[in-house]
Amino acid sequence: MGCWNVFLCERIVLRCALVLACGGLLLCGGCGGCKGKKAPIPEVYVNRANDDAYINQLLEMRKRQIEVAEVQVAIARQMTQHVERVRATFPQGVGDDTLAAALAEDSTWKGLEARAKAQAELANQIWEEDRDAIRDRMLEQGQAEREVQRGRARAIDKPDGPDVAKAADKPHDPNVVYGRKKE
């Protein structure tokens, strides 16, 4: 029986050594293994209103839309002036049908209508492009929020929002809307 006990003790010792070796490997692997360089966590804006690049993009969009609208207003004024000039050539009391017929034959009026239509199409195209850009940025913000919640990114938003200190220093002027004086 003595030989059997030695054999049994050897098996127990071997099993303990195997368990300790496997446990050591698991412990080493579970603690991160070898300390190599980890990829840096990306920094993202969770609130797009804090991103200066986005704010500048919005300002550019607004500027383009205002420029197109100003051209549209100028064309509308020219059309109104042309209608008044044509109306002055007719005797008083002439109906709108006669005026519309005279304008339909007028080459200047046709040119103004074509310019107005082209400008309206351009304004609509710009508006759609801007809307799509804003929608894309909103989707990016949602993705950034999910990445921060999962711990894959770090939020770098300003605590008080964009340029709060600058805005607090200036008194509010009710006659200024979006940086332009009301007319």
Where do the domains of the chain lie? 40-181
pTM here is 0.60
Separation of alpha carbons 84 and 123, rounded Å: 27
Mention every residue, 6+ apart, whose C-beta is less than 8 A from residue 181: 175
Which pLDDT belongs to residue 110?
Answer: 94
Cβ–Cβ < 8 Å for 49, 160:
no
Q: How many CA atoms lie within 13 A of 138 on its CB side?
A: 6
- As beta bridge partners, residue 43 has 154
pLDDT digits (tens, 9 = 90+) for 71-112: 999 999 999 999 999 988 888 888 888 888 999 999 999 999
Q: Is 28 exposed, middle or buried (0-12, 13-18, 19+ CB in 10 A)?
A: exposed
pLDDT digits (tens, 9 = 90+) for 142-171: 999 999 999 999 988 765 544 544 544 555
Q: Return the percentage of the chain with pLDDT > 70, whole number.
A: 68
Map tokens 């920094």 to a residue.
43
